[in-house]
Amino acid sequence: MIESLYILIITSLACAVLGVFLVLRRLSMVSDAISHSVLLGIVIGYFVTKDIGSVLLIIGASLFGVLTTVCIELLIKSKRVTEDASVGIIFPLFFSIAVILITRYARNVHLDTEMVLIGEIILAPLHRINFLGLSLPKALVQMVFVLLINTVFIAVFFRKLKISSFDPVYAGVAGIAGAGLYYVFMALVSFTAVSAFESVGAILTISFFISPAASAYLISKDLKITI
């Protein structure tokens, strides 16, 4: 049980580090869309590899999360629908396709919508690997790795992320690659969501992205303190 708590804590930290900029950029609902849409990437990845444990599933699902972001951005730029409506179009479309594919073609596979939505945090410590001579939960090692990647990314690109979040126009004038940095950031959000969903599920993952950041903004207006 204590190992399940460790997994929850590390997962919440990995999500919250990125969640600060999601809330700052008003992308809270986009994280919701990504957390659900990556299921389609996982399903397609399974059909290609035939291996539910393949690392290609994580890569494919992360790329699909970026595709979700791109599709939402294209709908917004078309000026035919609002931002919240574009999320409402893409997220149910991808998620429903994934559910249909699972129920029709992957019933005998350890892959179902309940696992994606709710997760298996109690069972997560049972899946163990040997790391540095220690037997540790796979989810714990995986999320520590994700936390390190996210922390390094935020530390290296903090200034650019801050400028592009507060003033995109100035960021463009200053030569900061806002679009490229944005999609790398969203790829990390997708990667984090995919890594977390098996243990904690999509619903709790969304909460980990948004709730700590939103709460921190109520306490402090300083971005570094908020993080």
What is the span of the domain harbouring residue 48? Answer: 2-226
The full 3-state SS of 173-225, as one line of letters, equals HCCCCHHHHHHHHHHHHHHHHHHHHHHHHHHHHHHHHHHHHHHHHHHCCCHHH
Q: What gap in Å lies between CA 177 and CA 12, rounded to an integer? A: 29
Q: How many domains does the chain have?
A: 1
Taking phi first (over 0 means left), then psi (-120 to 50 degrees means alpha), and beta for anything else, what does residue 109 get? beta
Whichever domain contains 42, its CATH number is 1.10.3470.10
Q: What is the pTM of this model?
A: 0.85
pLDDT of residue 68: 87
Please check whether residue 76 is in contact with residue 83, taking contact to mean a CB–CB distance below 8 angstroms: yes
Per-residue pLDDT of the chain (227 residues; tens, 9 = 90+): 788 888 989 999 999 999 888 888 887 778 878 877 888 888 888 788 777 667 777 788 888 888 888 888 888 888 787 777 888 888 888 888 888 887 777 666 666 666 666 777 787 778 888 888 788 888 888 899 999 999 999 999 888 888 877 777 666 666 666 677 888 888 888 888 888 877 787 788 888 888 888 888 888 877 777 77
Residues in the chain: 227
The full 3-state SS of the chain, as one line of letters, equals CHHHHHHHHHHHHHHHHHHHHHHHCCCHHHHHHHHHHHHHHHHHHHHHHCCCCCHHHHHHHHHHHHHHHHHHHHHHHCCCCCHHHHHHHHHHHHHHHHHHHHHHHCCCCCCCHHHHHHCCCCCHHHCEEEECCEEEEHHHHHHHHHHHHHHHHHHHCHHHHHHHHHCHHHHHHCCCCHHHHHHHHHHHHHHHHHHHHHHHHHHHHHHHHHHHHHHHHHHCCCHHHHC
pLDDT of residue 110: 60
